[in-house]
Structure 1
């Protein structure tokens, strides 16, 4: 697998998240797994780097102003509040390679530490100015699901 030349790489650019859906093994579809209007961006560069971040759109603000995630204000927030902020946001960055309609993300930094050093494989389909990324089947809450994220080029 490799990075095709910029002229042959349809993923290069910045894409805005349009929807995130779960497709269960029995065919049941759960729309809006990140809320009805998720917020997010994915960037593929011509030199093989990727950055992804997305979240629920209806995240409540923290109960007090926090100027930095390393500040004492952040450390004094209730654990439940921090957990909610963490579980409604996802981000990672690293490099990627392409092979046909499969893109493999090699994770170098991530909001979920266990993902660092791993790879995430996605199949993709392009339709005009949108790309649909599908995960392989994963076990989520005891149910096998495929997650479908639709992104629009900006």
Structure 2
């Protein structure tokens, strides 16, 4: 069982990806919404979505049009699984994910806590012939 020096639930403050060229990309806009929660029994849950998502035509989530399905997939990311801390990194072992390629993979993040905020980063991610570094800042819920 893992424990965490930052157990609890955090709200997303910002998520930006920086390309090697210096360009900054906001994958779900510069005002994305999200939560990450680390439980004392060693599990992590992450949900991030773009703000201003549009409702679909039908009340049933399985009756969307192809265009609605694409918009939904590109505006929400969620995953969960066990986590462990190893040498200044946190490893999320993905069991369930809205992006199927991550299922069964370790998502490795550098982390730090400063001024009560949790910073997570992933470095060297291949992206359209370049690499990028992802930076996410989270604040505890209730602040």
TM-score w.r.t. the length of structure 1 is 0.84
* Pair 1:111–1:56, CA change in 2 (3 A): same
Aligned residues: 141
> Secondary structure of the equivalent of 1:63?
coil
1:91 Cα offset (Å): 0.4
- Could you list the structure 1 runs, at least 4 aligned residues long, displaced by more than 3 angstroms after superposition: none
Determine the structure 2 residue equivalent to 1:46.
40
Determine the structure 1 residue equivalent to 2:128.
141
> Secondary structure of the equivalent of 1:114?
helix
**Structure-1 separation of matches of 2:80 and 2:101:** 13
TM-score w.r.t. the length of structure 2 is 0.90
- Any stretches of 5+ residues in structure 1 without a counterpart? none
- Bigger strand share: 2
CA RMSD of aligned residues (A): 1.6
- Any stretches of 5+ residues in structure 2 without a counterpart? none
* Candidates 21, 30, 54, aligned match of 2:16: 21
1:25 Cα offset (Å): 1.6
